[in-house]
Structure 1
Amino acid sequence: MTIKRPTTTQLLDIASRLHIQLTDAQAEEYLAMMQANFDAYDQIDALPDEIPEVKYSRDAGYRPNVEENPLNAWYYKSKVTGASTGRLSGLSVVLKDNVALAGVPMMNGSSTLEGFIPAYDATIVTRMLDEGVTVLGKATCEHFCLSGGSHTSDPAPVHNPHRHGYSAGGSSSGSAVLVANGEVDLAIACDQGGSIRIPSSFCGVYGLKPTHGLVPYTGIMPIENTIDHAGPISRNVRDNALLLGVLAGHDGLDPRQYTVKTDDYLSYLNRGVKGLKIGIVKEGFQLTNMDDRVAEKVRSAAKKIEELGAIVEEISLPEHYLAGALWTPIGCEGLTAQMMHGNGMGFNWKGQYDIGLLDKHKDWRQQTDKLSPTLKVCMFVGQYGIEQYAGKYYAKAQNIARRARAAYDQKLAEYDLLLMPTVPIVAQPLPDQNSSLTEYISKAFEMIGNTAAQDITGHPAMSVPCGVVDGLPVGMMLIGRYFAEGTIYQAAAAFESAVDWHDC
């Protein structure tokens, strides 16, 4: 099989876009010289791709109807039974619908990707199946994961399990709902600006964003390599720690993984908090949309942890705001370059590329009217930064991100954990179909003020349910040192054992 060769007209057009001027004669001469290069493309085209082995059979599955799926939390149901024994034997899991499950449709919340069927399982899916889990299918997620609300997914918004018509949080909206509702034991979620922790807070479940790179992202559709994280959602701390122990570790295929350090996370659960030093970050309580009732619940939870024996002190971390600001050029320019122009895969990294996903996602260019306003606004910012400033502010933000991380590290050298509200509000009403662009977009990003920072710095952070405001859950966020997820579980387990958050 041979690839299609460019014509002289196509080469002149390519040269023009590269700001190179050619005569017709020069173009024809260049074309003749290029043929040997295209022969190499032919050779590659004739070879089979390197695709990971699919080890477990699965049924064809189906997309549940509204009667079976009243909260719109399921995208696709398909049962995959793992090994007969293992650490996750007897437990069920649902995958966020940006995680590859071979033979089962994946649309990542966007109709532009509808019809794509992965050829292999994500690394973390194979790891879970090897440990005996039963995969029950795919959970709805927000449109290409670009929303902290739950109103952007195609074809319908996801409802909060505690109050219909209210946001479940995003972008891992369905993952949190199905765990909170008891339809699955565990869920896989992903986090680039808070997308594990926001829905966990809104739905009253435990959601951990691990240290950047601890959990391999292989087989998960990227947004931007430097802020991509995958992690567990559960109804209790033990299951969360159990699942992380299965997910974590180097796989040799993910460029996000470097000097990865795993741990026995379950061993931390009964240690208590006596002697732990916890810093309450005052900046995390000073967001412009901070609900005082949420702040009060989180401070009460911190007081309870202090009563259990921890040393709890208020501290100042101004760089928390800086890290949040850095998200905009890194997130917007990065996703525009990698997820959109790079067709999801991008360039310049070694690892497992999903060729099928690349081929399918490239067609977004013919369906731009179907892209969500939340993605569009990020693309507009990103494209402007790339075109007007040649990526200067993306590069500068990545450099300054080291300063933000160092500030977090300095406080975490003094304290074992940092503490703040996961989000400044409880779940809000979903915008209606006639909402303005301003309301639609604002409702997607109004809650990320505390969560985006740790995606930039890479520190592990967990949302822990700690109370209720007006019948809706409140989340407390615990932040730890790099690869110190065990310490987060230590404090979360102690708090969980001491209180029933439903009554707080």
Structure 2
Amino acid sequence: MAIVRPTTEQLEALASRLHMRLTTEEASEYLALMQSSFDAYDLIDELPDEVPPSRYPRAAGQRPTGDMNRYNAWACKTEVKGAAAGPLAGRTVALKDNIALAGVPMMNGASTLEGFVPAYDATVATRLLDAGATIVGKATCEHFCLSGGSHTSDPEPVHNPHRQGYSSGGSSSGSAVLVAAGEVDLAVGGDQGGSVRIPAAWCGIYGLKPTHGLVPYTGIMPIESTLDHAGPMTANVRDNALMLEVMAGADGLDPRQVAPQVDAYTQALGRGADGLRIGILSEGFQLANLDSRVADKVRDAIARFEGLGASVEEVSVPAHSLAGALWSPIGCEGLTMQMMHGNGMGFNWKGQYDVALLDRHAGWREQADALSASLKVCMFVGQYGLERYNGRYYAKAQNIARRARAGYDHALSQYDLLVMPTVPFAAQPHPEPGCSITDYVSRALEMLGNTAAQDITGHPAMTLPCGLVDGLPVGLMLVGRHYAESTIYQAAAAFEASVDWKTL
């Protein structure tokens, strides 16, 4: 059908919002010139959209309650059976609830998106199903994924399976909990500042943020395209490597992917750590909020790598701290433009757009007060940078990000891996209901000191459990060269085979 044409009065008002003044006569003349463009809009409106097909039957499902969802980790339970055979046959998977699964609600942790139902499957969902997996539901995630804590999800906080009332980490909170609790075999998370690795560390599982662009992000609601990553979350290293084999590689729909280099990751698992060169990243142990008990656990684990034949020594990588600082202008201004002003999709990239998501998420403006405080503070920073400084700090930070990547690359030319604590402290209690904005936001963002950097530089990073502090898991993070996930898996598998981390 024909799109609605503006009146001359509406065009005058529109011009005013563009800082222009039109007379009624000028508006009428411009309106006549615009009609041929609007005719093209009519044509687009009449044509069917390009929507990837969904090949596996499923039901919409529903959110379980009570004892069926004791950690609040399920956003929705359903069942989508994949291929009859494949490397993941018989395995159950949960998808973070910002990942599209056709016909199944997707809320992305936010009440403002409640009721949205995607029309197609994300590429990672299709690949998992083609590999024989059964997708059994959507895992709760934090409010538009803007939190490293798990108290920001709508409608309720997600609880750590090791201790009720404690944070599971975020934003892939439910994904980590469901794997750690044994309710699913595998889960997919997303990572823009640590959102795979933080919850994996606090729940005692394995979580990988792959090289930027290795895993297609098609069908996953973005935050900021240069930071967006999706990765596997599993109870052991082999499952993690197997999942990455299934999910990795170009899909032809995601412009984040530039000739991604895939590998047979499971083949690296038996190589051992002997001969690996590991650099202990000094800056990773210099965070102001680093718990000394966590640092000790990680250093003890590093010593175990040395016992397995790896050479280990301290290295300073100033780019680590620089990359962490770059996250604020890139993350805040980028998400404000793409996820919020751009209605969850943004402009200027040749990817698969979810038109229905764009239409639905545009409604956040009518419910803006319901947005989480952690998202609001990022939007306030981003909007101020855009309005007061015209986006120059976003642009400059993206330029400087190449310097940060080069700093990491230089260190990784001397070492196979870098190692540091994933999160500076163990899981903490949820903030009290009705707490101050300061407490709410601080508890959402206080743990990003070591994880945000690799989202800026794009290097792969994996957390593996390496002990307990007060009965709560501690994570050690390995960082590798771009597309060197196999080296990370090689080291992680050697460590996993050498000890039961729960005894450390």
**TM interval, short-chain normalised:** over 0.9
Distance 1:485 1:235 in 2: 17
Whether the aligned pair in 1 keeps the contact of 2:480 and 2:487 (CA below 8 Å) is yes
Match of 2:316 in 1: 316
In the alignment, residue 220 of structure 2 is paired with which amino acid? I
Match of 1:131 in 2: 131
Please give the per-residue CA displacement for 1:330-384, whole angstroms capped at 9, x wherever unaligned: 0000000000000011000102100010010000000011100000000000000
Name the SS of the counterpart of 2:67 in structure 1.
Answer: coil
Match of 2:439 in 1: 439
Match of 2:119 in 1: 119
Match of 2:364 in 1: 364
In the alignment, residue 252 of structure 2 is paired with which amino acid? G
Match of 2:84 in 1: 84
Quote the offset at 1:417 in angstroms.
0.2
Name the SS of the counterpart of 1:151 in structure 2.
Answer: coil
Distance 1:208 1:221 in 2: 19
Quote the offset at 1:98 in angstroms.
0.1
Name the SS of the counterpart of 2:155 in structure 1.
Answer: coil
Quote the offset at 1:13 in angstroms.
1.4
Whether the aligned pair in 1 keeps the contact of 2:186 and 2:233 (CA below 8 Å) is yes
Distance 1:144 1:84 in 2: 34
Please give the per-residue CA displacement for 1:69-93, whole angstroms capped at 9, x wherever unaligned: 0110000001000000001001110
Name the SS of the counterpart of 1:358 in structure 2.
Answer: helix
Please give the per-residue CA displacement for 1:139-175, whole angstroms capped at 9, x wherever unaligned: 0000000000000000000000000000000000000
Name the SS of the counterpart of 1:208 in structure 2.
Answer: strand
Whether the aligned pair in 1 keeps the contact of 2:297 and 2:466 (CA below 8 Å) is yes
Quote the offset at 1:67 in angstroms.
2.4
Instruction: Give 1:166-185 correspondences, 5 Å limit.
Output: 166-185=166-185
In the alignment, residue 365 of structure 1 is paired with which amino acid? R
Distance 1:209 1:416 in 2: 17
Distance 1:246 1:411 in 2: 30
Q: How many pairs are equivalent?
A: 504
Name the SS of the counterpart of 1:129 in structure 2.
Answer: helix
Quote the offset at 1:16 in angstroms.
1.1
Match of 1:35 in 2: 35
In the alignment, residue 479 of structure 1 is paired with which amino acid? V
Match of 1:253 in 2: 253
Matched, 1:151 2:151: yes
Please give the per-residue CA displacement for 1:92-133, whole angstroms capped at 9, x wherever unaligned: 100000000000000000000000000000001111100100
TM-score, normalised to structure 1's length? 1.00
Name the SS of the counterpart of 2:69 in structure 1.
Answer: coil
Distance 1:425 1:406 in 2: 29
TM-score, normalised to structure 2's length? 1.00
Matched, 1:94 2:100: no
Instruction: Give 1:458-473 correspondences, 5 Å limit.
Output: 458-473=458-473
Please give the per-residue CA displacement for 1:176-211, whole angstroms capped at 9, x wherever unaligned: 000000000000000000000000000000000000
Please give the per-residue CA displacement for 1:192-236, whole angstroms capped at 9, x wherever unaligned: 000000000000000000000000000000000000000000000
Name the SS of the counterpart of 1:462 in structure 2.
Answer: strand
Quote the offset at 1:20 in angstroms.
1.4
Runs of 4+ in 1 over 3 A off after TM superposition: none
Distance 1:20 1:28 in 2: 15
Distance 1:484 1:216 in 2: 17
Match of 2:293 in 1: 293
Counting aligned pairs with the same residue, the percent is 70
Match of 2:8 in 1: 8
Please give the per-residue CA displacement for 1:258-313, whole angstroms capped at 9, x wherever unaligned: 02000010010000011100000010011000000000000000000000000000
Quote the offset at 1:62 in angstroms.
1.4
Matched, 1:244 2:244: yes
Match of 2:494 in 1: 494
Please, which runs of 5 or more residues in structure 1 have no aligned partner?
A: none
